[in-house]
Amino acid sequence: MKFFKRLPVKGKELIYIVVALIIGIVIGTIIINNNYNYNYLGTAADWASAIMSFIAIIIVFWQMRREAQNERAFYIENKRPHFSVERTTVIHRDERILYDEGYIDLKTLYEELHGNKSKYIVRLTNISDNIVQSLKIKIDYNGSGTNRYAFDGLFPKQSILLVTDDIIVGGLDPLEIWIKFKTTANEIGYFHFGADLNNNFTKYFFVKGQEPVSVYGNDLLLSKNNYLIRKIEKKFKKKPSYKNITIPKEEFEDLEEEIGEKKN
């Protein structure tokens, strides 16, 4: 039984077909051997054998289809990412930085953040072992600020920094992030993060396809025509910024040295 479960779908299909043919032949032979009244339309045994074989084949293909759907669903569920969000004052070497049109230059940004406990940017991390094929991000901050970004290919454990047009001040104002993402299994999902003075929360929404996928906890699986999915999708209608950079190693070392000297 364990060997059968480990077989690929095509291997299982072949076994089902062989079993169905054997069943049809055996049943047909038994009936024919007990019935000798032939006519030009065929005996009752012929018809019974054909019908039994046809039913067996239908059952086989139904079983094959269900097996394939279940395997596809398992594959889709295991390709889903998970994200973490944090306010930060630190830029790490080789960290990818996303920004919009109104961003300040990196030297000024580095100076404002490091050693400052009242100004923040946001670090988004893919904490799963799965690659995220594409992301569209909307962030609301400081009560009235909004920025949008897009990024392709977020790898496992990789982080990206979201630099807003205005630096996020304090940490008392609500922070809300929406992400539309596409997995390597071509599943569309949405991630919602919210934080205020009292608490923070996360929630995932997935768009239902043909496969019998499931969700866990308080996550939701909804049809693409569901009113909530349509409402979320409207958040991504406006054009995002695709601009992203990484501070070169030499420039990063220069910034560290210069900021260090200023602190001393």
Q: Look at residue 21 in the predicted model and tell me its pLDDT.
A: 60
CA proximity to 92, closest of 116, 120, 114, 118: 114
Tokens at 206, concatenated: 């997935």
Candidates 123, 114, 115, 177; CA nearest to 145 is 177
Tokens 């909307």 map to which residue? Answer: 138
pLDDT at position 4: 45
Output the CA torsion sign for 108, 110, 114, 118: positive
Residues ≥6 apart with Cβ < 8 Å to 134: 150, 151, 152, 153, 181, 182
Distance CA 103, CA 169 (A): 15
Residue 7, pLDDT score: 46
3-state SS track over the chain: CHHHHHCCHHHHHHHHHHHHHHHHHHHHHHHHHCCCCCCCCCCHHHHHHHHHHHHHHHHHHHHHHHHHHHHHHHHHHCCCCCEEEEEECCCCCCCEEEECCCCCCHHHHHHHHCCCCCEEEEEEEECCCCCEEEEEEEEEECCCEEEEEEEEEECCCCEEEEECCCCEECCCCCEEEEEEEEECCCCEEEEEEEECCCCEEEEEEEECCCCCCCCCCCCEEECCCCHHHHHHHHHHCCCCECCEEECCHHHHHHHHHHHHHHHC
Going from N- to C-terminal start, the domains of the chain cover 2-77, 83-263
pLDDT of residue 244: 82
pLDDT attached to residue 12: 55
Q: In this structure, are residues 59 and 20 in contact, taking their beta carbons and an 8 Å threshold?
A: yes
Task: Evaluate the CA torsion angle 232, 235, 240, 244 in order and state its sign.
Answer: negative
What pLDDT, on the 0 to 100 scale, is given for residue 50?
66
Structure tokens of 183? 């997995």
**pLDDT digit string (tens) for 60-95?**
777 777 776 677 778 888 889 999 998 888 888 778
Which residues partner with 134 through β-bridges? 152, 182
Query: 245: which 2 tokens?
Result: 């950079």
Per-residue pLDDT of the chain (264 residues), as tens digits, is 444 444 454 555 556 566 666 665 565 555 555 554 444 445 556 666 666 766 777 777 777 777 766 777 788 888 899 999 988 888 887 788 888 766 666 777 777 777 666 678 899 999 999 999 999 999 998 888 899 999 999 999 999 999 888 778 766 668 899 999 999 999 999 999 998 767 788 999 999 887 778 888 889 989 989 999 999 999 999 999 888 877 777 777 777 766 665 554
pLDDT tens-digit series, residues 25-49: 565 555 555 554 444 445 556 666 6
- pLDDT on residue 234: 94
Task: Supply the pLDDT for residue 207.
Answer: 92
- The upper half-sphere exposure of residue 67, i.e. CA atoms within 13 Å in the direction of its Cβ, equals 18
